[in-house]
Structure 1
Amino acid sequence: MTDPVLSLREAALSLQGNAGPVDILEAISLDVHRGDTLGLVGPSGSGKSSLLMLMGGLERATGGTVTALGHDLTTMSEDALARLRRDHIGVVFQSFHLIPTMTALENVATPLELAGNPDAFARAEEELTAVGLGKRLNHYPSQLSGGEQQRVALARAAAPRPDILLADEPTGNLDSTTGTAIIDLLFGLQERHGATLVLVTHDPGLADRCARVAELSDGHLSERQPPKARTA
């Protein structure tokens, strides 16, 4: 088997609270390989989003190691982490994090331009068309529905052709019908680009669309097979 795209070894995260340090994650070990789809579930406050942030280098582990694409994220500088995310890791949040003064096209193209991509706007248009927004390119976030804004966020994450897609409750602010459409698009993007997908969700049924499911509880991780894997 090839080396994992994401690898955590005894990874831990402690944050300083008013009453002293609080252990968020303890001794997490996990390998995720190229093309994997992994659902992360667990009760509210279990550390799902924190674990995803460790994988993307948005939080730094306070113990153990976190490796992405062969890079030890625990030792990299902030600038190096930012370059790694720019070129190889797409992140989709529950809140869309679009720039309100930019059109949909500009929101998707700007990160590509910053990376020096010569066809930034052409690729941005291609990705927006792929998520059904080909006729909304010049609309601003305030002119788009929540579902449309999340589609822009998906296009922005997918446009650099990332090796890794990290999605943190991407349907949390959407109604169930719109959320289902967004998840269909997310898995479609993952398949189209051959990316590794890690999906944080509170919905076990949604997690079961992934090939693997891992559950966080009290800072510890356990993995189970989703129903489709058990019946395959």
Structure 2
Amino acid sequence: MTRIFSSMPDPIIALEDVTLKLRGNAGPVEILHGLTMQVHKGETLGLVGPSGSGKSSLLMVMGGLEAATSGQVRVLGQDLTRMDEDRMARFRRDHMGVVFQSFNLIPTMTALENVATPLELAGAPDAFDRARAELDRVGLASRSDHYPAQMSGGEQQRVALARASAPRPQILLADEPTGNLDGSTGQAIMDLLFGLRDDHGATLVLVTHSRQLADRCDRVVRLTDGRIDDALARAAE
């Protein structure tokens, strides 16, 4: 069992002896091996490591998008391993924002509609006003009526960031948020991501291959073959 804790108080995410097995063509494959770790309120944690090391799988387990095979996953004091899919979806809607490398925008919806959708699902009466304000904050007010296919990769990722942050989640999870972008666009997305964290006080967990992005995190956890290699705790500059 690998244990990683930081010295910060108030864990907002806590994993205890978590394993993840997925079924492959040759049978079950163990992706995560008995991980025990904590993420703390207001912390920015970077998950790094080679491709196939389990970084994205760990992020998905933290967000309840992948169910742990064994062990316990507690988020905001709630045990995700005891939730059914409907309850988990509501919990994620109310407390988490997720940003994917592939953007995951709904192609038949405009930028405005994509950002407004989680707000509408949460019952916000001003969903479209808040969505417009969030698009403006990421510099896309003029693109609100455009569909994903009409936007560049950087613009689509900004829409995805706006969608994730509009409900003001307590936790932001980002899976390779700059992985499909060129250098200058990726830098702009990094600045937006950390700006949203600072503005809203969210806890941020991100998967990245970018050394530059990892260097901006408070703490870095390195994974190899589904196990934690080491943790580098740094004070944010």
TM-score clears 0.5: yes
Matched, 1:64 2:66: no
Q: How far apart, CA to CA, are the structure 2 residues paired with 1:83 and 1:222?
A: 33
Secondary structure of 2:56 counterpart: helix
> Which residue pairs with 1:229 in the alignment?
235
Instruction: Map residues 140-155 of structure 1 onto 2, 5 A cutoff.
Output: 140-155=147-162
Q: Could you tell me how far 1:160 is from its partner in structure 2?
A: 0.5
Q: How far apart, CA to CA, are the structure 2 residues paired with 1:199 and 1:94?
A: 11
Matched, 1:49 2:56: yes
Preserved contact between residue 28 and residue 221 of structure 1 (Cα < 8 Å): yes
What runs of 5+ residues in structure 1 fail to find an aligned partner?
Answer: none
Q: How far apart, CA to CA, are the structure 2 residues paired with 1:87 and 1:2?
A: 23
2:34 pairs, out of 27, 38, 42, with: 27
Q: Could you tell me how far 1:225 is from its partner in structure 2?
A: 2.5
RMSD of equivalent CA atoms: 1.4
The code of the aligned residue for 1:98 comes to L
**Count of residue pairs brought into register by the alignment:** 230
Normalising to structure 2: TM-score of the pair? Answer: 0.93
Preserved contact between residue 38 and residue 212 of structure 1 (Cα < 8 Å): yes
Normalising to structure 1: TM-score of the pair? Answer: 0.95
Instruction: Map residues 1-232 of structure 1 onto 2, 5 A cutoff.
Output: 2-225=9-232, 229=235
More off after superposition, 202-211 vs 149-158:
202-211
The code of the aligned residue for 1:229 comes to A
Percent identity reads 69
What runs of 5+ residues in structure 2 fail to find an aligned partner?
Answer: 1-7
Q: Could you tell me how far 1:2 is from its partner in structure 2?
A: 4.7
Q: How far apart, CA to CA, are the structure 2 residues paired with 1:81 and 1:183?
A: 28
